[in-house]
C-alpha cells in the first residue's frame, strides 16, 4: 500500500501535490518523493515522512507532476528506494503502488540491454521498460510495457518530452481520476482530491488513462477507448479517509480479502514459496504478544499439521526471562508493528541463545526486521492498520503462517507436491471466502443488537479454533469492554462451567472437523446452565441449528483454513457489539496501538 497523486493543469503543481499527498500518509510513510516537469524533469525524494520531503524541497515551477508516499514491500525504506524512479536518460518518471512479481526476470534482460539501475525495488524495471518502448507517445509505451508485467499495480508516469501529460494504468491497486476546470488530477484515494474536486471516477483493472489539463482519455489494454461514468462525491474529508466506513476498524475488517491477496501475491508461483528456511532445527518456537500471540498459537496447529514440526508458543514477556533451553528451535517472532518492546527483547534473547530466527511483521525496516536481518523476514503486506484493535493484520499473519508451513512441508517432504498445490489452490480462494463472511455483516449486526448488553461472553473452540476463540474474546474485551473469555471447549467442565448463566452469551465454533461431536456436547453443557449459544458452523450444517439459539454460517473450507472465516465473523461481531454499546471503537480506553514499553 502506497499513496499516489498527480496533477496537470495551469497552477503550480508542487503545493497541490504536497497537500494531496499528506492526505494519503495513512497509506505509507517510510519515504516520499515528487517529480515535476519544469524546463526539465525535476525529482526530489527523501527517506521518512512527507514532512521530511517538504522541509528539503526547493520551490519548483511547473504545472504537471506526480508524487508518492511509500509503504515498502521490495527494497528497504531509503532515499534510493523512494519513488519516483527515472529511466537512464532522466526523461521519464514513474511511481507505483503494488508489486511487480516478475521483476527479477525483467531486470536481468534490461541489464543485458544496458539499462542502469539505482534501487533494489521491483518498480524500477517498469520505468526502464517505458524507456525501451518510448517513441514519443507515453500511452503507447505504457500499453507495451504492461504486456510484460505480472503482478498488481497502479502506475503513474510522466515524460519530459510530452509536457502536460500523465499516463496511468491500474490492476488490483486503487487509482481514481478527478476532473477540474482546465486541470485534472489522479490519486490512490478520494481524501487526496476532495480539496480540489469532487468529480471522480475509478479506474478499473486493465484500464489505462491519459490525462492532460483539458482531456481524460481511458483505453483498455488493446488501446480501445472506454467511456467512464463520473460521480460527485458528497463525503467530507474525514469520511473519505475512512473510505466511507464509520470507523477505521470496520474499513480494516473489510480489507481482509485484499490483504489475503496481497500477502499471497508472488509467493506461490510454481511452488517457489520463498528462500529456504533451512534444516538446522528440529523444532519451532513462536514468540509474540497480544493478537500476534494468538496468531502464533494458531500457527502451532498450522505448522504441526502441515509441516509436521513440533512447535511451542511463548508470550514474549515470558520468553525474555525464561530459563535458557538447551535446544535451538527455529524461533519465529510475530509482531505487526515490529516495534513491540517485549517481542524485540525476545528476538535479542533468541539471537543470544543462538537460535535460527524468522520474523513475521507488517513493517519493512522495523526494529524487529533489523534485529533478525531483512533476509529472515516474512512481510505481511497488510498496509497500515489505524484501528487500535488488530484485524486485517491478524488475518495476514495467519496467511503468512500457512505459507511458511507449506514451504517447510515442501522442504522436508512432509506433504507431496500434489497436496501442497491443492492447498495453495485453496488459499487462492480465501479472498472470496472472506468476502462471503463480510457479506453477512447485517446478520451479525442483528446478533450484536440482541446480545450487546450481556454481562459476560464466553467463546469456545477446539483445535485450531481454540486460539481463534481467544482472539475473538480479546476483540470483544478491548473494544466493547464486555468481560469476554475464550476457552478450549474441553476445559469447560474443569472450572469455567461455574460461570455460565443467563446473563452470559456463548459463541461456540462448531466446524465439522474431528472435534465436531465433542463441541456439540460442550454446547449442550452450557445450554443446560441457561446460557444462550451462538453457533459458528459451516453452511449447510442443519444439524447444528438443533443445538444453538442463533447461528452464523460461514462458507465451507478445508478445516485447516477455517480460522480465516471464523475470525472474520468474530471481528464483525465484536465491532457491532461495541457500536451498540456506544464505545470509542478506533481508540479503546487505556490501549495503544504499539506497546514500546515493558
Ligand atoms: C489487539 C492488539 C494487541 C497487539 C499486541 C502486539 O488487538 O492489537 O494485542 O496484537 O500489542 O502488537 P504487535 O503485533 O505490533 O507486536
* 338-385 tens-digit pLDDT: 999 999 999 999 999 999 999 999 988 788 998 999 889 999 989 889
Q: What percent of the chain has pLDDT over 70?
A: 98
DSSP 361: E
- Measure Cα distances from 376 to 74, 249, 302 in Å: 14, 30, 20
- The C-alpha R_g of the chain, in whole angstroms, comes to 25
Closest residue to atom 11 of ligand 1, CA basis = 290
- Measure Cα distances from 459 to 290, 300, 477, 512 in Å: 17, 20, 12, 17
Contact 157, 94 (CB under 8 A): yes
Q: How far is the CA of 593 from the centre of ligand 1 (A)?
A: 7
Task: Tell the burial category of 421 from Cβ atoms under 10 Å away from its Cβ (0-12, 13-18, 19+).
Answer: middle
What phi, psi does 458 have (nearest 5°)? -120, 130
Contact 115, 131 (CB under 8 A): yes
315 lines ligand 1 (CB under 6 A): no
pLDDT in the model for residue 271: 60
347: which 3 cell numbers?
Answer: 528476538
Find the mean pLDDT for residues 57-74: 91
pLDDT in the model for residue 140: 97
Q: How far is the CA of 346 from the centre of ligand 1 (A)?
A: 15
Q: Return the bridge partners of 582, or none.
A: none
pLDDT in the model for residue 278: 84
Closest residue to atom 13 of ligand 1, CA basis = 335
Distance CA 169, CA 173 (A): 10
pLDDT in the model for residue 512: 93
pLDDT in the model for residue 234: 80
pLDDT band at 159 (very low <50, low <70, confident <90, very high): very high
pLDDT band at 591 (very low <50, low <70, confident <90, very high): confident
Find the mean pLDDT for residues 225-230: 94
- Element at 225 (helix H, strand E): strand 225-226
pLDDT in the model for residue 77: 82
Distance CA 121, CA 81 (A): 6
Q: In this model, does residue 275 exceed pLDDT 80? A: no
DSSP 491: G
Q: How far is the CA of 82 from the centre of ligand 1 (A)?
A: 28
390 lines ligand 1 (CB under 6 A): yes
Q: In this model, does residue 166 exceed pLDDT 90? A: yes
Q: In this model, does residue 270 exceed pLDDT 60? A: no
Q: In this model, does residue 273 exceed pLDDT 80? A: no
Q: How far is the CA of 394 from the centre of ligand 1 (A)?
A: 9
Q: Return the bridge partners of 284, or none.
A: 311, 330
Measured from the Cβ of residue 287, the count of other Cβ atoms closer than 10 Å reads 30
The catalytic position among 2, 289, 355, 583 is: 2
Distance CA 56, CA 79 (A): 13
Per-residue pLDDT reduced to its tens digit, 523-547: 999 988 889 999 999 999 999 999 9
Find the mean pLDDT for residues 566-591: 94
- Selection from 216, 206, 224 nearest residue 146 by Cα: 206
343 lines ligand 1 (CB under 6 A): yes
Closest residue to atom 12 of ligand 1, CA basis = 335
List CB contacts of 35: < 8 A, sequence separation 6 or more.
41, 42, 43, 65, 66, 67, 84, 86, 93, 95, 158
The catalytic position among 109, 351, 556, 593 is: 593
Within 13 Å, how many C-alpha atoms sit on residue 521's CB side? 10
- Selection from 486, 483, 488, 467 nearest residue 291 by Cα: 467
State the pTM of this model.
Answer: 0.84
Q: Tell me whether residue 587 is one of the annotated catalytic residues.
A: no
pLDDT in the model for residue 267: 77
Q: In this model, does residue 254 exceed pLDDT 90? A: yes
Per-residue pLDDT reduced to its tens digit, 458-516: 999 999 999 999 999 999 999 999 999 999 999 988 998 899 889 999 999 999 999 99
Domains of the chain: 3-238 (3.60.20.10), 242-437 (3.40.50.10490), 439-592 (3.40.50.10490)
Measured from the Cβ of residue 244, the count of other Cβ atoms closer than 10 Å reads 11
Distance CA 350, CA 320 (A): 8
Find the mean pLDDT for residues 418-425: 94
Q: Which of 193-207, 428-442, 581-595 has the lowest mean pLDDT?
A: 581-595
- Enumerate the H helices of 308-429 as residue ranges: 316-319, 341-352, 367-372, 392-412, 417-428
pLDDT band at 237 (very low <50, low <70, confident <90, very high): confident
Q: How far is the CA of 337 from the centre of ligand 1 (A)?
A: 8
Shortest-distance atom of ligand 1 to CA 368: 16
pLDDT in the model for residue 274: 67
Q: How far is the CA of 290 from the centre of ligand 1 (A)?
A: 5
3-class DSSP assignment, residue 481: coil
252 lines ligand 1 (CB under 6 A): no
Find the mean pLDDT for residues 299-315: 97
Find the mean pLDDT for residues 217-244: 88
pLDDT in the model for residue 380: 93
Contact 9, 212 (CB under 8 A): no
Distance CA 310, CA 325 (A): 15
Q: Tell me whether residue 593 is one of the annotated catalytic residues.
A: yes
pLDDT band at 201 (very low <50, low <70, confident <90, very high): very high
Pocket test for ligand 1, best of 336, 393, 395, 473 (most atoms within 8 A of CB): 336
- Enumerate the H helices of 226-313 as residue ranges: 237-241, 248-254, 256-264, 290-306
291 lines ligand 1 (CB under 6 A): yes
121: which 3 cell numbers?
Answer: 525495488
What phi, psi does 159 have (nearest 5°)? -130, 135
pLDDT in the model for residue 50: 87
Find the mean pLDDT for residues 219-237: 90
Pocket test for ligand 1, best of 292, 359, 363, 366 (most atoms within 8 A of CB): 292
Amino acid at each position: 500500500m502506497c499513496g499516489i497523486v498527480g496533477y496537470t493543469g495551469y497552477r503550480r503543481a508542487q503545493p497541490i501535490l504536497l497537500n494531496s499527498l499528506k492526505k494519503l500518509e495513512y497509506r505509507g510513510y517510510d519515504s516520499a518523493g515528487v517529480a515535476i516537469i519544469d524546463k526539465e524533469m525535476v525529482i526530489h525524494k527523501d527517506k521518512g515522512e512527507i514532512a521530511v520531503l517538504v522541509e528539503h524541497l526547493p520551490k519548483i515551477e511547473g504545472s504537471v507532476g506526480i508524487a508518492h508516499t511509500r509503504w515498502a514491500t521490495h527494497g528497504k525504506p531509503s532515499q534510493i528506494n523512494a519513488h519516483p524512479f527515472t529511466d537512464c536518460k532522466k526523461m521519464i518518471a514513474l511511481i507505483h503502488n503494488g508489486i511487480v512479481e516478475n521483476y527479477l526476470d525483467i531486470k536481468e534482460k534490461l541489464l543485458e540491454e544496458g539499462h542502469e539501475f539505482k534501487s533494489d525495488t521491483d518498480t524500477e524495471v517498469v520505468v526502464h521498460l517505458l524507456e525501451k518502448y518510448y517513441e514519443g507517445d507515453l500511452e503507447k509505451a505504457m500499453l507495451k510495457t504492461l504486456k510484460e508485467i505480472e503482478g498488481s499495480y497502479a502506475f503513474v508516469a510522466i515524460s519530459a518530452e510530452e509536457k502536460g501529460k500523465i499516463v496511468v494504468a491500474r490492476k488490483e491497486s486503487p487509482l481514481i481520476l478527478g476532473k477540474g476546470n482546465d486541470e485534472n488530477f489522479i490519486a490512490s484515494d478520494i481524501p487526496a482530491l476532495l480539496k480540489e474536486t469532487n468529480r471522480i471516477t475509478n479506474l478499473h483493472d486493465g484500464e489505462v488513462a491519459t490525462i492532460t489539463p483539458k482531456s481524460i482519455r481511458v483505453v483498455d489494454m488493446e488501446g480501445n477507448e472506454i467511456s467512464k461514468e463520473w460521480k460527485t462525491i458528497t463525503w467530507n474529508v474525514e469520511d473519505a479517509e475512512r473510505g466511507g466506513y464509520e470507523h477505521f476498524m470496520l474499513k480494516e475488517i473489510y480489507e481482509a480479502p485484499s490483504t489475503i491477496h496481497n500477502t499471497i501475491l508472488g509467493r506461490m508461483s510454481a511452488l517457489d514459496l520463498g528462500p529456504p528456511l533451512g534444516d538446522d532445527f528440529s523444532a519451532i518456537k513462536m514468540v509474540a504478544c497480544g493478537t500476534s500471540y494468538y496468531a502464533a498459537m494458531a500457527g502451532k496447529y498450522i505448522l504441526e499439521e502441515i509441516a509436521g514440526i513440533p512447535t511451542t508458543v511463548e508470550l514474549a514477556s515470558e520468553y525474555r526471562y525464561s530459563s535458557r533451553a538447551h535446544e535451538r528451535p527455529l524461533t519465529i517472532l510475530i509482531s505487526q508493528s515490529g516495534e513491540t518492546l517485549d517481542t524485540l527483547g525476545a528476538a535479542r534473547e533468541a539471537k543470544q541463545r543462538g537460535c535460527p530466527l524468522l520474523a513475521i511483521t507488517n513493517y519493512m525496516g522495523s526494529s524487529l526486521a533489523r534485529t533478525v536481518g531483512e533476509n529472515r523476514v516474512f512481510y505481511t503486506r497488510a498496509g497500515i492498520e489505524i484501528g487500535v484493535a488488530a484485524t486485517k493484520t491478524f488475518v495476514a499473519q495467519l496467511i503468512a503462517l500457512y505459507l511458511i508451513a507449506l514451504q517447510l512441508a515442501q522442504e522436508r517432504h512432509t506433504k507431496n507436491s500434489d497436496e501442497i498445490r491443492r492447498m495453495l489452490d485453496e488459499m487462492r480462494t480465501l479472498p472470496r471466502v472472506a468476502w462471503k463472511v463480510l457479506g453477512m455483516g447485517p446478520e451479525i449486526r442483528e446478533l450484536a443488537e440482541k446480545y450487546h448488553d450481556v454481562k459476560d461472553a464466553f467463546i469456545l473452540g477446539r483445535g485450531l479454533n481454540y486460539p481463534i476463540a481467544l482472539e475473538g474474546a480479546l476483540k470483544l474485551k478491548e473494544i466493547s469492554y464486555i468481560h469476554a473469555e475464550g476457552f478450549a471447549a474441553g476445559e469447560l467442565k474443569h472450572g469455567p462451567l461455574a460461570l455460565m448463566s443467563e446473563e452470559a452469551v456463548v459463541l461456540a465454533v462448531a466446524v465439522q472437523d474431528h472435534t465436531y461431536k465433542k463441541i456439540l456436547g460442550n454446547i449442550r453443557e452450557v445450554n443446560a446452565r441457561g446460557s444462550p449459544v451462538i453457533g459458528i458452523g459451516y453452511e449447510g450444517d442443519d444439524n447444528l441449528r438443533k443445538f444453538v439459539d442463533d447461528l452464523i454460517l460461514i462458507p465451507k473450507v478445508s478445516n485447516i483454513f477455517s480460522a480465516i472465516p471464523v475470525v472474520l465473523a468474530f471481528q464483525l461481531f465484536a465491532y457491532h457489539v461495541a457500536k451498540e454499546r456506544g464505545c470509542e471503537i478506533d481508540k479503546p480506553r487505556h490501549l495503544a496501538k504499539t506497546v514500546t514499553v515493558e
